[in-house]
Structure 1
Amino acid sequence: MILTNGVLVTWEDENRILEGWALRIAGGKITHVEPQKTLIQMFPDEDRLDAQGQLVLPGNICAHTHFYSAYSRGLGIPGDAPSGFVEILEKLWWPLDKALDKKSVRASADVSLIDAIRHGTTTLFDHHASPLYIDGSLDEIYEAVKASGLRVSLSYEVTDRNGKDQAYEGIKENVRFINFVKKNHPLNGRISAAFGLHASLTLSDDTLEKCRSAIPENYGFHIHVAESDADEYDSIKKCGMRTVDRLHKFGILGPKTIIAHAVHVDAREMQILEENDCWVTHQPRSNMNNAVGMSAIESMDRMGIKLCLGNDGFSNTMWDEWKTCYLAHKLWHKDPRRMNGMLVSKMAVYQNRKLVANQFPGIEVGILKPGAQADIILVDYEPFTPLLAGNLPWHILFGLNESMITMTMVDGEILMKNREITCLDEKKVIADARQLAPEVWQRYSAQFKS
């Protein structure tokens, strides 16, 4: 098809905003970006999709999320509110992931994927945990992704907090799924895999060694690092070194490894991350909610660390993550000059798309150009000031919102059109998830009564 009558935002290295241009899609990819009259003359019989003057952008990317967190929405935590990060883990996340079974794992993935489609997030890096349903859990999420049409990286969170047997089960689940992806290249490249680890504070030396030995060649880890200072103090207590130093010692770092958060790393740890060519994802909404602080993003960028933007299981409204990032660092530093909008777009667009290229072999997204995948959104935004390549980040920060997204497409397949989900029965998916919720919450609450 030819996508006509739109205002193209290419997000090339030298970003262009093109009026009077169109793009052609074939075989799941963008084949041409040309002036509209030229393209129609070249392909006069091609089907056309009329953008009706809307913005045409590449789909958004989320570099770190948790589909399983869907059942935390509206959940009441028994007793006093958690007073710190470790209490949040102990009172909310660890009992919740133990409450998940096969049906609720699938349902939590389904509703998260619908949320992503509705809000224009076309590629996501999921980090899964369900300690009482490990074997085959990634297959269940894979089936949800398959039905949704989205592009997703999957991993299972290995941890020692539930004993060695479950840690070993998590290792096996990662290896099994990575080998499946490696062998089958499933869904024409819409699925990728990483080796999930929870965090240093719940991983023993023995388990880290086993994970390093088990990971297939050319794959990397996806792990939380120094989200709170508890991770650092635990590492110092265990082995006399800080978290990043410890992970480096055990061979966890590398050019395929995704480091989530890195809030409490020191200067030497940043240097180690840069030297090992790791990817660091920033999740400001989560950091604010957990009151753990803010990563030294501007310093890391100056050091050459590859910084990306995720949401840590918050809603897949990635422009909300942009806005939080832009505002939170100003408040954190009490300085309105901090966190330039260009740095936010660098993380969310340019670095996120490089992460996809690193983790999905042969796939290029996050850009409108010939050869890139046709992962595209339409946005019904009518600017009342000039919209230019140089000020686009500020239009996103102060003007655009996800309710303006009218169409979501992945690999040239329309997943939402005119704000209607076309790939899934949205009402049924939500109703099914809601029906399961009381059981999940009951299993969650029961853990506090024993």
Structure 2
Amino acid sequence: MYIVGNGRVITQDDKNPYIENGAVVIKEDEIIEVGNFSDLRKKYSDAEIIDADDGIIMPGLINTHMHIYSSFARGMDIKGSTRNFDEILKNLWWKVDKSLSLDDIEYSAYVTYMESIKNGVTTVIDHHASPMAITGSLERIAKVADYLGIRTSLCYEVSDRDGIEKAEEGIRENVEFIKYADRKNSDMIKGMFGIHASFTVSNETLEKCKKAMENIDVGYHIHVAEGITDLNDAQEKYGKRVVKRLNEYGIFKENTIAVHCIHINDYELDILKNSGCNVIHNPESNMGNAVGCSPAIKMLEEGLIVGLGTDGYTADMIESLKVANILHKHELKDPTVGWKEAPLMLFRNNREIIKKQFGCNTGILKKGAKADIAIFDYIPHTELNENNYNSHIIFGISGRGATTTICNGKILMKKRKLINVDEKSILEKARTISKQMWKSVEK
């Protein structure tokens, strides 16, 4: 049993939002009480104290859309033009994913999950691609997540861009991994059915995906109308917009993750809303790829569940929160938006999405929730209270301010040091094999 205390507790629980000198009591994988540090210390006198050193005690953060493999592109010299999103895909990402071996995949998982943990992230939903190393790729990633102790959901992105055989292999990889995760019967690992995007899958492939999912009760994880090419392709080839086309194959349902949804109209927004599916906003990636600004604010106003992800751009969810706050102010020319919506996406909607995927309560500090906790090194220089804590998070805290990360009751990082992980040797190996991967990209 642990008491995480001697800090300011931000619970993200409306019934008990903030405790000035608070603590969280953990027993095995569950939170059993949240309250005053002194009181809980007396009540649970035998518990081990995890000292927050006057820092901020928060729920572990959740990333609802990540590309683990993209970490190996960091610092890589890109050959070819990247003047628009199509060229970014063809000259960067589709070259990178074709160059990945199973070892590359494994070490990109190590470094991404480790960086996530060091930013206070305890749950990651990933969308994977490796056309030359499909079979067994998701299980390889899952074993890394299990070793490091982080909660994760995985899928393989089915695409026709490398041929029918590769698309069918991707379908099989999704199905086999979903079965693998089901056998684990754990709220630490889940599988989804991944598809790249409308413009890289034919009707025939979508029909195969639909058939493969007939007796499987999980959601799809797919990019939707991210770039204008996706919309143009759907209209030119099929005479309909992206959401309408995908909806005809049963893609959108309550546990589906529809990523981006930038180039959509009101009719499509209604389809998404009525399906009960989850939309993921990735502000930094959208800005970096110059694909446009998501109508995330409008979608929230219409009642859609819009979560926050990073799309591989970063592992720092607080950074993504900050950008989501200012992007929509800039886009809508309205300084009043973002304050409520950005924290809503990260702290409320992300946990609802995880509950659908994993069947457990996380992203909140209250009795009965999973023991997923992050401590941040932040001592406020103005008053912090139950009415302004999100402002302190946005303007005062950063992901790298995480000092301790706990997932499922297990300490993954303490005092900024990963527990039982030889981080130095893993990073050295990652630099070596990523350098070899870069050479294969250049060929």
Supply the distance in 2 between the matched residues of 1:13 and 1:423 (Cα, whole angstroms): 36
Residues 378 and 408 in structure 1, CA contact (< 8 A), matched pair in contact too: yes
Q: Distance in 2 between matches of 1:284 and 1:423?
A: 34
The equivalences for 1:248-287 within 5 A come to 248-287=247-286
Superposed displacement of residue 102, structure 1: 0.9
Aligned counterpart in structure 2 of residue 437 of structure 1, from 424, 434, 442: 434
Matched residue, 2:52: 51
CA contact (8 A) 1:104 1:436 kept: yes
Equivalent residue of 1:76, what SS?
coil
The code of the aligned residue for 1:330 comes to K
Q: Which amino acid aligns with 2:265?
A: D
Say whether residues 1:350 and 2:351 are aligned partners: no
Aligned to 2:35: 34
Deviates more, 1:68-77 or 1:283-292: 68-77
Aligned residue in 2 for 1:212: 210
> What corresponds to 1:408 in structure 2?
405
Matched, 1:395 2:396: no
- The corresponding residue for 1:426 is 423
Give the SS at the match of 1:20.
strand
Q: What's the offset of the Cα at 1:411?
A: 1.1
Provide the C-alpha distance between the structure 2 equivalents of 1:15 and 1:94, rounded to a whole number of angstroms.
47
Q: Report deviation, 1:391.
A: 1.5
1:341 maps to which residue?
A: 339
**Shift, 1:15, TM fit:** 5.4
**Are 1:195 and 2:193 matched, yes or no?**
yes
Q: How many pairs does the alignment contain?
A: 441
TM-score, normalization by structure 2 = 0.97
SS at match of 1:22: strand
The one-letter code sitting in structure 2 at the alignment partner of 1:266 is N
Paired residue for 2:302? Answer: 303
- Counterparts of 1:156 and 1:340 in 2: how far apart (Å)? 32
Aligned to 2:233: 234
8 Å CA contact 2:7, 2:55 repeated in 1: yes
CA contact (8 A) 1:201 1:234 kept: yes
Q: Which runs of 5+ in 2 are unaligned?
A: none
TM-score (norm 1): 0.96
In 2, Cα distance between the equivalents of 1:85 and 1:184?
Answer: 38
Separation of aligned partners in 1, 2:45 and 2:187: 31
Distance in 2, matches of 1:360 and 1:438, equals: 36
**Preserved contact between residue 19 and residue 35 of structure 2 (Cα < 8 Å):** no
Any idea what SS the aligned residue of 1:100 has? coil
The structural deviation recorded for 1:40 is 2.9
Distance 2:401 2:69 in 1: 27
Q: Compare 349-358 and 433-442 and name the one that shifted more.
A: 433-442
For residues 195 and 8 of structure 2, the distance between their equivalents in structure 1, rounded to whole angstroms, comes to 42
Three-state SS of the structure 2 residue aligned to 1:108 is: helix
SS at structure 2 position matched to 1:33: strand
Deviation of the 1:293 alpha carbon: 0.7
Cα pair distance change 1:43/1:397, threshold 3 Å: closer
Match of 2:20 in 1: 19
1:366 aligns with: 363
Percent same amino acid at aligned positions? 39
Per mean C-alpha deviation after superposition, the further-off stretch among 31-40 and 258-267 is 31-40
Change (3 A) 1:13 1:218: farther
- Once residues 84 and 167 of structure 1 are traced to their aligned partners in structure 2, the CA distance between those partners, rounded to angstroms, is 26
Kindly state the Cα deviation for residue 14 of structure 1 after the two structures are TM-superposed: 4.3
C-alpha distance in structure 2 between counterparts of 1:261 and 1:346, whole Å: 17
Q: Deviations over 1:34-77 (max 9, x none)?
A: 33333233322222222221111001110100000011111122
Aligned pairs for 1:118-157 within 5 A: 118-157=118-157
Structure 1 residue 218: Cα displacement: 1.7
